[in-house]
């Protein structure tokens, strides 16, 4: 038996049935059937190989009629061996939940479901801080609702800091907020209300924070996957790249144009399975 030396584990879903078939976020507007299938396949494969260089990547089966199933970040919030299953707001994505639950259960996770009316879109809206303290950042306002908080507290017993999202282009927390190893943070301040900005500034010291520009934000710079010192993202301005390099990160840019038509990039296309912050 060979034991993998890679420390991280992710779940991805191949884009065999990916396209923009409905509009549930502003990125999808005017993009119905506009994703170039061949290019999407190439972009996904390239990202998959980059991720596989530093992590074990498991794959689930794509399902016809569920074009957004590729965005596995929205499957659940994973912590140790527990997965709090998403409860999707939009009817178009609700049938995905059973497929994610089946995969997670078969993989050995204890899958917890939420009561009706509690909306939650998994690791798209719930991100662990990667500094010293056990902290879960929860984005709400567009997809998830704050009613999920007590359920998450029950399931994973970690301090939760809620952040209200207020720009519809940044409808999931992982589109505008990215905790990095050693407690660094990338975020787009204008995507949050004043109280949330104050909470972010109270938790993270100024020398660990990089506030991205609108231009970086709309190129999904915050939708980055961070494994140890690697940061894999669609695109970073030279200013952002320099900031990351100066802190010892390796910046890997890989074009994600076709998935951005659906409102997602590298982070959305992957679910980290080895989350354990306590």
Q: Which of 79, 172, 203, 235 is catalytic?
A: 172
What the block records as the tokens of 267 is: 């982070």
Name residues contacting ligand ARG, limited to 65-104 (CB under 6 A).
68, 71, 73-74, 93
Q: Which is nearer to ligand ARG, 16 or 208 (CB)?
A: 16
Q: Taking CB under 6 A as the rule, does residue 241 contact ligand ARG?
A: no
CB of 4 to ligand ARG, least distance (A): 26
CB of 23 to ligand ARG, least distance (A): 9
Q: Please, is 158 exposed, middle or buried when counting C-beta atoms within 10 Å of its C-beta (0-12, 13-18, 19+)?
A: middle
CB of 67 to ligand ARG, least distance (A): 8
Q: Taking CB under 6 A as the rule, does residue 175 contact ligand ARG?
A: yes
Residue of 40, 50, 83, 124 that binds ligand ARG (CB under 6 A)? 124
CB of 245 to ligand ARG, least distance (A): 26
Task: Give how many residues touch ligand ARG by CB under 6 A.
Answer: 15
79 is a catalytic site residue: no
Residue of 172, 219, 261, 272 that binds ligand ARG (CB under 6 A)? 172
Q: Which is nearer to ligand ARG, 141 or 263 (CB)?
A: 263
Q: Taking CB under 6 A as the rule, does residue 127 contact ligand ARG?
A: no
Active site residues: 172, 268
Q: Which residues bind ligand ARG (CB under 6 A)?
A: 24-25, 68, 71, 73-74, 93, 124, 172, 174-175, 262-264, 268
């Amino acid at each position: 038996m060979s034991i993998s030396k890679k420390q991280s584990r992710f779940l991805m879903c191949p884009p065999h049935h990916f396209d923009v078939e409905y509009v549930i976020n502003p990125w999808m507007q005017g993009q119905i059937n506009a994703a170039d299938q061949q290019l999407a396949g190439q972009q996904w494969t390239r990202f998959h190989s980059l991720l596989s260089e530093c992590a074990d990547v498991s794959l689930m089966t794509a399902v016809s009629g569920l074009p957004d199933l590729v965005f596995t970040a929205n499957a659940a919030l994973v912590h140790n061996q527990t997965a709090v299953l998403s409860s999707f707001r939009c009817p178009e994505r609700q049938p995905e939940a059973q497929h994610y639950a089946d995969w997670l259960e078969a993989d050995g996770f204890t899958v917890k479901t939420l009561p009706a009316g509690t909306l939650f879109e998994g690791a798209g809206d719930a991100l662990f801080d990667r500094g010293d303290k056990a902290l879960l950042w929860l984005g709400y306002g567009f997809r998830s609702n704050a009613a999920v908080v007590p359920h998450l507290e029950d399931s994973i017993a970690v301090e939760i800091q809620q952040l209200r999202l207020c720009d519809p282009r940044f409808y999931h927390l992982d589109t505008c907020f990215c905790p990095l190893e050693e407690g660094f943070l990338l975020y787009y301040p204008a995507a949050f209300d004043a109280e949330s900005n104050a909470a972010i500034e109270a938790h993270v010291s100024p020398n660990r924070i990089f506030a991205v520009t609108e231009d970086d934000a709309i190129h999904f710079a915050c939708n980055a996957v961070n494994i140890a010192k690697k940061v894999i993202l669609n695109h970073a301005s030279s200013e952002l790249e320099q900031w990351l390099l100066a802190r010892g990160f390796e910046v890997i840019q890989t074009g994600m144009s076709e998935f951005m038509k659906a409102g997602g990039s590298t982070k959305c296309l992957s679910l980290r399975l080895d989350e354990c912050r306590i």
